[in-house]
Structure 1
Amino acid sequence: MSTREWGRDLGLGFRFAFTGGREGWIRVLLTAVGVGLGVALLLLTTAIPNALSVRHARDNDRADHTYGPVRPKAANTLVISDTDTEFHGHDVRGRLVEPEGPEAPVPPGLTAYPATGDMVVSPALRELLGSSEGRLLRARLPYRITGTITEDGLVGSRELAYYAGAKNLAPKIDGSRTARIDMYGLTGTPPQSHADPILILLVLVVFVVLLMPVAVFIATAVRFGGERRDRRLAALRLVGSDSRMTRRIAAGEALAGSLVGLVFGTAFFLLGRQFAGSMEVVGISVFPDYLNPSPTLAALVALAVPAAAVLVTLFALRGVVIEPLGVVRTAKPARRRLWWRLLLPLGGIALLAPMIGQGGSDGQFNQYLVTGGVLLLLVGVTALLPWAVEAVVARLHRGSVAWQLAVRRLQLSSGSAARMVNGIAVAVAGAVALQMLFAGVQGDYTKRTGQDVTRAQMQINLSDGTPFRTAADQFRTTKGVRKAVSLGSASLGEKDWKNGPGDTTLLVSGTCASLRETARLPSCRDGDAFVVTGGEDDAAVTKLARPGRVLHLDADHGAGKGPDVRWTVPAGLKPAHAITSPNGTRSSAVLLTPAAVPDRVDRLLDGTVYVMFDKGVPDVSEYTRNTAAKVDPFADVMVWSTTEESRNFTSIRTGLYVGALCVLALIGASLLVTQLEQLRERRKLLSSLMAFGTRRRTLSLSVFWQTAIPVALGLLLASVVGLTLGAVLLKMVGSPLGVDWRSVLSMTGAGAAVVLVVTALSLPPLLRLMRPEGLRTE
């Protein structure tokens, strides 16, 4: 067969697609919509790496903290302070700025710094502060809005950020939250971290699982209207075409639909890209121009989709005999074979088996074997589902009229029903496996913080010079706060900190009630001092806390450049025993009540307030943050939790959630298009049944059962394959086998919910197709 003949026949089919009257146009349109939805998601996928790269670059360009030596004040320096906060679960990036000269660097997104008391904000923050929902946040930011941060200074369209003008920031410089800088942006090459093989495995599996349903949907879309197309192709046999030429013409029709689908997909992607700029998913937002697909990957999509359309059509017609007088497919089809369908999942397991037990820090996974193994297992779902639907519906007989109509239709065309469910089955199988893998390795990326959330739910670290005892009083009067405990602390050394402190111990000051949160005291009144043992370093505190000994206070957080502040250990230290403090530490220390602390020492203590909430009060954490901002704008507010997850692990899981939402949207839209196409194919049949007196309720129920039976079988098969794949992946990373049945049920329930919504949306078109006018023909 020459290339010229292939081109001629494909071109002929291409022309038939657009010149075949209304039926041809409808089929091309349905195919284009289905393919276009898949192409749009593929383009979005190819654009995600660029979007993440741009977000990362924008974040690096505005980096404003340096942890090196303190710079002297100059014409090109700026003092900047990190005042990040959180509001209703959303991060708010805040900076207080004080330029010290006319050449002070200006961050991306700004043309000039705001004056003292003014601020420039991101568009999303301006919108929030102007709404009733942002009332509590507005009280936390007592600045006048005078400008807007442009796109260059933001990582996402929905990011909440501001720069506020301030003065006298220099005394707050500590090298971390407040610093003096002369430039923005990171310099040098960041250190390369060791690649975690388990995280790499997670990324690979996530991409395969999210993209596989898209490929299945595209393959399904190019077969829309297949039965009517094959009957039209029978006419070509009457004018002399052979069976191979007829198949190539059919492939040309599919090619036409796929090419129009590429156009639709590009349009859908451009519309979706604009829409993406106004939304936030799992805390991530982007600007539309971030979503620029890689030219190479976009070209690959443009070539792969039409090629897949031709190949899928030729493959689908391999068992169809198109004769001049009709299509030999209305007879009972040959029974599907099971043996070769089992080879696909077994082959996938065989590819993954050599990597079992290779998890851990020194493990390595072959990315090609992982990708191939997961693909074969998921493709196995699409191969096994038609056999399972056929085998089950062949044994279904008795039931109501609606049930019998549905079962008979499935017995005649089980392949079409299975194709409609293939995509959702693949998505559920992959999601179940991923949930098992995430649940299995989560413990390796989660550590306990030691924080006792029954004693406090928030910790506020005050900046230098903030009186921590009076601060606690203001927190106690805050709405929803049940208890507030304040403690001041500093390190004591046996030598001057400029020359190395030698042995060190901890000095803690607070009221008697506050000190009892860290130690078991025999008795206590203001003016008492205690030496606490039973903690992490009894030897140091026993050596240093001797009456009359002169110790040296850490005046600048270990930098050794502050004044030498000396403190003499008083006589009459009472013994006490350490207990676990609210932050999870158990420290040997010297404890002082307020009257026992000299003023020069008291001013240098690092103040911390521990707050316990009344959880029945709405927005209690926001009220507490507002108090913290009022007491100390530089305060570091920390919400406590019993565990803390790895940032990389959390990022991968967030990406999975974002991708899963997009795939679920594609599932719903594609299923709806598929359902409408199948209803259109049965228009005359439905109208005939109505003409013979069949009730609308019966026909509606029959359509529901035609969808529900394959969906139930597909979800059951997807659960089995997903559990199998999840078990193999857990063995690969060396985690014990375990099934999170709640996740399995949630995934299958989500798939079933999508199908129910699609079925409900297809009822209005179904009722219109039941009219007797559907019997009219042209």
Structure 2
Amino acid sequence: MSGEGGHLPDRAKSRAWGRSRDLGMGVRFAFTGGREGWVRAVLTAVGVGLGVALLLLTAAIPNAMGMRDDREEARHDIGLVFHQENAETKQSDRTVVVANSDTQYQGKEVRGRLMEPEGPRAPVPPGVEKLPAEGEMLVSPALAELLKSDGGKLLVERLPYRVVGTIGESGLIGSRELAYIAGVDGLAKRINGSTVGRIERFGNPEDQPGRSMDPVLLLLVLVVLVVLLMPVGVFIATAVRFGGERRDRRLAALRLVGSDSRMTRRIAAGEALAGSFLGLAFGTLFFLMGRELAASVEVFGISVFPDYLTPTPALALLIAVAIPASAVLVTLFALRGVVIEPLGVVRSTKPARRRLWWRLLLPLGGLALLLPMIGQGADNGPFNEYQVTGGVVLLLVGVTALLPWLVEAVVARMGSGSVAWQLAVRRLQLSSGSAARMVNGIAVAVAGAIALQMLFAGADSAYTEVTGKDVTRANMEVGLPDGSRVSAAVKDFEQTKGVSEALGLSSVSVGDRRKDPESSVGMTVGTCASLREMAKISSCRDGDVFMTESPEDPTALTMVKPGRTLWVEPSYSGEDPGAEIPWTPPGEVKKVAERADSLRPSLSGLLVTRAALPAKVEPLLYSSVYLRLDPSVPDATDRVLNTAAAFDPLTDAWVWESTSRSGEYQSIRTGLFVGSACVLVLIGASLLVSQLEQLRERRKLLSALVAFGTRRRTLSLSVLWQTAIPIALGLVLSSVVGLTLGAVLLRMTNIPVSVDWASVLSMTGIGAGVVCLVTALSLPPLLRMMRPDGLRTE
């Protein structure tokens, strides 16, 4: 017994050595075999590498977002006045006064800060060694580049400061961020606790309490991630099967010299491992190259520094393990229906018909996971993340399972036609699986895009608010810090190129008592022309007072009486004593009706011309200038902002929009656009690699057909048909699956199901356009392959 037992470890070692030897032989096959072997290995590595690069980019996103948030928190300034224990920080040699002077230029945000140090030990923000002196400014590298270019001339006029340095990377959230810090004087007297404040340090003093995300927004995030990553997995699975026919013929030759079926599968697994490891190396190289280029790229307003793009170690390790494991599993799965015998590969004969029943189980299983959550909406808590992810994955994987069956079933019924058509159909009948694999990725991407488009279109109204601003009445609004200078500001804006009309309006409150009034109403002050933009006024002269007829707010009717003294800006609870100004309305207060298209909707209270008020009221007025712009002047908005900055650097200006979107919702949309751009590039590159690999497989066949007299035009058309038929079928299938998934997701969020057919057609059109572009790019190598000398062999 002991003797026999002593042989067991030796046998185990022998079996382990044999398996490792088989795997090693497969690795050697991947890199040997002359030029053919290297081309096959490189194509596989490029295909896998493109997917790995995108996966590494995805793994780096959490770190990139965290780095951006940390940088934003570290330079936190104006908001600090709300966190300090005292109502106001006292001046010392350790304080600095900071003012928010954010602006826009050509639609891009420009972060601006005006700073006035109050002592030698005043704090400095991150990325700055020394605060700029009065009249000087520090700028970000991107802003410095813009100011020196011809496209930044208008912005130079808006920032009348001398550039003395740049803001370091630690003070910026992105490589292409436009930001500046300028030194000014006299900020202390303008401290208001909101846009101007005194601080002793930069950085958020406390961690902000996290709040849970809206369930529908969380669902959007989950679906976006799955939809963007699924095509990547499909492309990697396709890439590891490059050169499958040649590999099977090599394995058949190995059977001829004595290897058994298990040994051949281990050799195939070793070859797949070699290709996947080379793909990991290529993917890492692609990622590092893209990482270095990231600093010069801005996508949908988002930019990062290269060190932001550092994958999370756990996710990077998962990718390094999952890719080789997936490559082996895909290879073994592909060999399940292939009989590799010493005399050849049985797959060369007519393959058995694909079965439909098990392919239907995948989408049905996905629906089974999602259907229980129908009607949950946003009021019943977050959706089950695992159910959502599993359901969407199964539905999209169902596309890859159903497409080969659909292609086989359709091409089997195709018959006569032109020579090019018959060549294409016959090729598809013999290898429909290869054709379906090439378009699987684009089909999955289109199905997911259609579902996402439906979900976003349905949820858009829930996260979009109507601002109430009529953009046909005004295009911009400028708030003036000094209400007494509204007339001068109106004249300045009227002389600005691109401004068609400028109207000034001011507002202030009026009470029935000097302190703690029982009743108060709003009072709008302006010229007769500007007041007519708000109410139906037939006759008006400077000095008139009007009252709007508002049944919902009768306060003005009871409070405003002839000869009664009212108080402008009455004080409450002892605040600002002595600031109240008495005012007695003139003898006649005319009643007017509000215009339906008033500049200020829901108008109520008093409309007063300037001559009807005492002069000392003007400093208490909050004034705004409403502007109508000439659409024929492309840079009218920037010219208005220049005029506003020249009037006062702290002037606020807004571009009117009829609707506004939730910030979180808009961020998810932006993330989708950025991810879609990356996936679209991957789709095109991977399809091109797949197309080149298939052409390489058929090079000798194409050369033989040319040698026998087949016209190149006929062969080119046949290749086009071989691509067009599976793509057409894939787009039809992806549209059906995408519409189904979109409808289920809408019902889960309690949103009525509706289909934006224009968006569906645009998604399928984009998919078809990518394929047409790839086909066009593959024509030059196709023409080179269609030469009789391609029949030469080594």
- What range describes the TM-score normalised by the shorter chain of this pair? over 0.9
Once the two structures are TM-superposed, the CA of residue 24 in structure 1 deviates from its matched residue by 1.9
Distance 1:14 1:21 in 2: 14
How far 1:387 moved relative to its partner? 0.6
Shift of 1:530: 2.2
- Gap change, CA 1:466 and 1:95, over 3 Å in 2: farther
Instruction: Specify the alignment match of 1:74 in structure 2.
Output: 92
Q: Which runs of 4+ in 1 moved over 6 A?
A: 555-559
Distance 2:501 2:552 in 1: 27
2:501 is paired with a residue whose SS is strand
Residue 636 of structure 2 aligns with an amino acid whose one-letter code is V
Residue 184 in 1 paired to residue 202 in 2? yes
Matches of 2:707 and 2:570 in 1, distance apart?
93
Question: Deviation digits for residues 553-582 of structure 1, max 9, x if unmatched?
Answer: 339999934752222222323223334575
Cα distance in 2 for residues equivalent to 1:697 and 1:351: 50
Quick one: distance in 1 between partners of 2:151 and 2:778? 38
2:40: which partner in 1? 27
Which residue of the partner structure matches residue 762 of structure 1?
778
Partner Cα distance (1:754, 1:288) in 2: 29
Question: Where does residue 705 of structure 1 map in the other structure?
Answer: 721
Which residue in the other structure is 1:687 paired with?
703
In structure 2, the residue matched to 1:530 is 546
**Which residue, 562, 581, 598 being the options, matches 1:566?**
581
- Counterpart of 1:248, as a letter, is R
| Counterpart residue number, 1:95 | 113
Say which of 561, 568, 580 aligns to 1:546: 561
Q: What does residue 325 of structure 1 align with?
A: 343
Question: Does the CA-based 8 Å contact 2:511-2:570 persist in structure 1?
Answer: no
Cα drift, residue 599 of structure 1: 1.7
Residues 1:686 and 1:518: Cα distance change in structure 2 (over 3 Å) = same
Q: Retained in 2: the 8 A contact 1:158–1:278?
A: yes
Deviation for aligned residue 1:522: 4.6
1:637 to 653, 669, 673: 653
Pairing partner for 1:473 from 491, 510, 519: 491
Deviation of the 1:477 alpha carbon: 1.7
2:49 aligns to what? Answer: 36
Partner of 2:742: 726
C-alpha spacing 1:556/1:629, structure 2 compared with 1 (3 Å): farther
**Residues 650 and 559 from structure 1, CA distance in 2 versus in 1: closer, same or farther, beyond 3 angstroms?**
farther
Matches of residues 296-335 of structure 1 in structure 2 within 5 Å? Answer: 296-335=314-353
Mapped partners of 1:558, 1:239: distance in 2 = 101
Distance 1:87 1:261, change over 3 A: same
Corresponding letter in the other structure for 1:439: A
Q: Do the aligned partners of residues 741 and 585 (structure 1) sit closer, same or farther apart at CA in structure 2, a change above 3 Å counting?
A: same
Residue identity in the other structure for 1:231: R
What secondary structure, in the 3-state scheme, does the structure 2 residue paired with 1:603 have? helix
**Which stretch shifts more, 721-730 or 608-617?**
608-617
Contact 1:579 1:586 in 2 (8 A): no
- Structure 2 distance, partners of 1:508, 1:229, is 83
Q: Which residue of 2 is the match for residue 198 of structure 1?
A: 216
Q: Deviations over 1:24-58 (max 9, x none)?
A: 22211111111000000000000001101111111
Partner of residue 636, structure 2: 620
Unpaired runs of 5+ in structure 2?
1-11
Confirm or deny: 8 A CA contact 2:533 2:599 kept in the other structure. Answer: no
What is the alpha-carbon distance in structure 1 between the residues aligned to residue 243 and residue 606 of structure 2? 83
Q: CA offset at residue 550 of structure 1? A: 4.1
User: In the alignment, is residue 605 of structure 1 matched against residue 621 of structure 2?
Assistant: yes
What is residue 125 of structure 1 aligned with on the other side? 143
The partner residue of 1:287 within 293, 300, 305 is: 305
Displacement, 1:485?
A: 0.9
2:29 and 2:93 map into 1 onto residues whose CA distance is 74
Alignment of 1:246-265 (within 5 A): 246-265=264-283
Moved more, 187-196 or 42-51: 187-196
Report the TM-score when normalising by structure 2: 0.95
Superposition RMSD in Å: 1.9
Deviation at 1:22, TM superposition (A): 2.4
Partner of 1:358: 376
Deviation at 1:694, TM superposition (A): 1.7
Q: Partner of 1:115: helix, strand, or coil? A: coil
Answer with 299-308 or 582-591: which moved more.
582-591
Task: Please report how far the alpha carbon of residue 114 of structure 1 lies from its aligned counterpart in structure 2 after TM superposition.
Answer: 1.3
Taking structure 1 as reference, are residues 693 and 254 closer, same or farther at Cα in structure 2, changes over 3 Å only? same
Deviation at 1:5, TM superposition (A): 4.7
Aligned to 2:663: 647
State whether residues 496 and 564 of structure 1, in contact with CA within 8 Å, keep that contact through their aligned partners in structure 2.
no
Residue 762 of structure 1 aligns with an amino acid whose one-letter code is S
Question: Does the residue aligned with 1:608 lie in a helix, a strand or coil?
Answer: strand
SS in 1 for 2:78: coil
Aligned partners of 2:376 and 2:611: how far apart in 1? 61
Structure 2 CA distance, aligned partners of 1:756 and 1:74?
Answer: 68
Q: Is the 8 A contact 1:548 1:568 kept in 2?
A: no
| Counterpart for residue 7 of structure 2 | none
Corresponding residue number in structure 1 for 2:8: none
Q: Is the 8 A contact 1:234 1:327 kept in 2?
A: yes
- SS of residue matched to 1:207: helix
In structure 2, do the counterparts of structure 1 residues 375 and 694 end up closer, same or farther at CA, with 3 Å as the change threshold?
A: same
CA 1:259–1:388: 2 relative to 1, 3 Å = same
Q: 1:12–1:249: 8 Å Cα contact kept in structure 2?
A: yes
Cα deviations across residues 56-102 of structure 1 (Å, max 9, x unaligned)? 11111111113433333222222211111111111111111111211
1:224 is matched with 242
The two structures have a TM-score, normalised by structure 1, of 0.97
Is residue 2:20 matched to residue 1:7?
yes
Native 8 Å contact 2:501 2:629 kept in 1: yes
- What secondary structure is seen at the aligned counterpart in 2 of 1:192? coil
Q: How far apart are the structure 2 equivalents of 1:556 and 1:187?
A: 33
CA, structure 1 residues 466+282, in 2 after alignment: closer, same or farther (shift >3 Å)? Answer: farther
- Whether 1:424 and 2:424 are equivalent positions in the alignment is no
CA distance in 2, matches of 1:557, 1:309: 74
Instruction: Count how many residue pairs are aligned between Structure 1 and Structure 2.
Output: 775
| Counterpart residue type for residue 78 of structure 2 | H
Distance 1:560 1:459 in 2: 30
What per-residue deviation string (whole Å, max 9, x for no partner) do you get for residues 313-346 of structure 1?
Answer: 0000011111112111111100111111111111
Cα deviation, residue 587, structure 1? 2.5
> Partner letter of residue 64 of structure 1?
D
Q: Report the secondary structure of 1:180's partner residue.
A: strand
**CA distance, structure 2, for counterparts of residue 297 and residue 402 of structure 1:** 48
Secondary structure of the corresponding residue to residue 145 of structure 1: strand
Indicate conservation of the 8 Å contact 1:203/1:652, yes or no. Answer: yes
Aligned positions of 1:353-432 closer than 5 A: 353-432=371-450
Query: 1:495 Cα shift?
Result: 4.6
Output the CA distance in 2 between the equivalents of 1:665 and 1:556. 63
% identical aligned pairs: 64
Q: 1:436 to 1:662 in 2, by over 3 A?
A: same
2:459 counterpart of 1:441: yes
Is 1:62 the counterpart of 2:75? The answer is: yes
Secondary structure of 2:443 counterpart = helix
Alpha-carbon separation, structure 2, partners of 1:492 and 1:574:
17
Shift of 1:220: 0.4
- For residues 690-728 of structure 1, the C-alpha deviation after alignment (integer angstroms, 9 at most, x for no partner) is 111222222111111111111111111101100000000
Paired residue secondary structure (1:147): strand
- Residue 238 (structure 1) shift: 1.4
Cα 1:318–1:505 change in 2 (3 A) is same
What letter matches 1:89 in structure 2? G
Q: CA deviation at 1:465?
A: 5.1
Query: Contact 1:535–1:587 at 8 Å: present in 2 too?
Result: no
Q: By how many angstroms is 1:611 displaced?
A: 0.5
